Structures are given as C-alpha cells and as structure tokens.
Amino acid sequence: MELRHYEQLSYHGLEPRDVDVWLPEEYQTLQNRRFPVLYMHDGQNLFEVEKSYSGVIWEVAEWITKLAKEEKIEPAIVVGIWATENRFGDYQPTKPFNSLKGEVIKKLAAKSKKFKRHSFVADQYLSFLVHSLKPMIDQEFRTKSDPAHTFTMGSSMGGLISMYAICEYPAIFGGAGCLSTHWPVVQMVILPYLRKKMPKAGNHQLYFDHGTEGLDSKYGKVQKKVDALMVEKGYQADVDWMTRIYKGHKHHESCWRERLDVPLKFLLGKE
C-alpha cells in the first residue's frame, strides 16, 4: 500500500492536522493516467488500525482496489484529512445558523459547557480543503482536478461537512458521500439552508445513508425531509442522488466499512 503522510499541515483559524494520501496500484503502473480524488474526513480512521481512534478502519484502500479490479469503479486517489480535538467545531456547518432561529439556537448553545469547548470553524476548514490542500494535491499528484472527478466523504459529523462542502463549493466538489449524517445538531435550521444552497440537479451526486440502531436510529426523520427536498430540486433517485437505510447497522466504523462499496460505486462507478 502506497500511503504518503503529511504532518501538521497548518491553516489560519484551524488547529494543525495530519493528512494521508493513498495512491491506487494503477497510479504506478499507468504512468500517463490521471485519477479522480476522494477527500475523506476523519482520516486517521481510514487506513491503519493503530492510528484509528476506534480501533477499526474503513478499509477504503482495500475496497477501492477490489472494486477497481472488478471494473466497477474508476480507481481514485484518497486524501484522508485527520480530525483534531476540535472535530465537532471543524465539521458543524455554520451558515445554516445565519437566521433568526439560528441566532436563538446559538445563544442557547453558548451557555453549554460542551459548546464552549469548541471553535466553530467549518468555513475555515472548507477553505483549507479548497484553497490550500486541493492545490497541493493537484500539484504533487496526477489528478483529474475538475469537479466531475473531485469528491468528498465522511460519516456522522463528517457526513455533515461533506454535505456542507458540496453546497458551499459546488464548482469544486462534484459528489458527496454522507454516511450516517448527524442531522440532530442542525435539524432546526438545515432545510432552509439546503433549499437555498443545494446544487442544481444534473451535475452533482449526493449519497446519504443511515442505520437503524443506536444513534443512527435518530436520523430517519430529518433524512426523509432531505429526501423530499432532493426530489423537489429535481434529483433522480439512484441516478444523481441515493439514500439507503441499513437495518441493524449502528453508528460505528465497522458498519461504515461494511457498506462503503455502495457510495464508492455510486460516486466512482463507471456506468
């Protein structure tokens, strides 16, 4: 496995963070070929068990290798952006709260000790991806840099920031994989934001899913409303938008790993 590690990349307004870049086998064997890029959050949980904070990895390298050999997807470069201690603040979208209701929620949340521990810097985090990290990746590697070949993916809060990324930067990201999207933290404000900012149907792909056990059991109500909005926006089920429910799946890397082939085939599929 060819995995390149970059330590403590810095960007104004953010805690420094490590980044891993995994290159598919074809990167070395096909020297004249360029590759799509998948930017994934919680990067320490992707490739090496000893680095994962849950002790379980997504096995994204193994999945992409397998699916590419089966000619079900186009092999892709994976950029794993590590989370920091400010993970919640890095990944929680901020602009949905720019409303009267959102301001009330922010004032109430500000009284909570839990929220005082975080800096809410999702806009800076996305700026880091778009204006610092992506240019570096495109310069150092043979990438297909256009939005049709640039994707983002994550789970839970990582699902939220993936959704936020494609809404804020639709000219950069052509697809987003949002696994077990943690809707509860934005459920009071997310629909007006998505109605305004969701990319127009036709040039983007969005994947959502959730399980039915534990924390994931709380996601269905909002997901149904988001699904209705996707239809309203003109997205076609299983064409440029997909939502899947996995019975018995809980909120854990082991479950995201088990079903990772579905969003990979949806976003990177050759069909």
Q: What is the pLDDT of residues 247-269, one digit of tens each?
A: 999 999 999 999 999 999 999 99
Q: Which of 89, 41, 4, 51 is nearest to 256 (CA)?
A: 41
Confidence at residue 112, expressed as pLDDT on a 0 to 100 scale: 66
Confidence at residue 1, expressed as pLDDT on a 0 to 100 scale: 72
Residue 81 pairs with which residues in a beta bridge?
19, 41
Rounded CA-CA distance 81/9 in Å is 10
Confidence at residue 213, expressed as pLDDT on a 0 to 100 scale: 98
Place of tokens 């052509």: 174
- Give the containing element (helix H, strand E) for 243: strand 241-246
- What is the identity of the amino acid at 149? H
Q: Average pLDDT of 234-257? A: 97
Q: Average pLDDT of 19-46? A: 97
Rounded CA-CA distance 167/172 in Å is 10
The full set of domains in the chain, from first to last, is: 2-268 (3.40.50.1820)
Place of tokens 């400010």: 86
pTM metric for this prediction: 0.96
Q: What is the pLDDT of residues 120-159, one digit of tens each?
A: 999 999 999 999 999 999 999 999 999 999 999 999 999 9
Rounded CA-CA distance 55/198 in Å is 35
- The pairing of strands 2-9 and 17-23 is antiparallel
Dihedral angle of Cα 122, 45, 260, 187, to the nearest 10 degrees:
-30
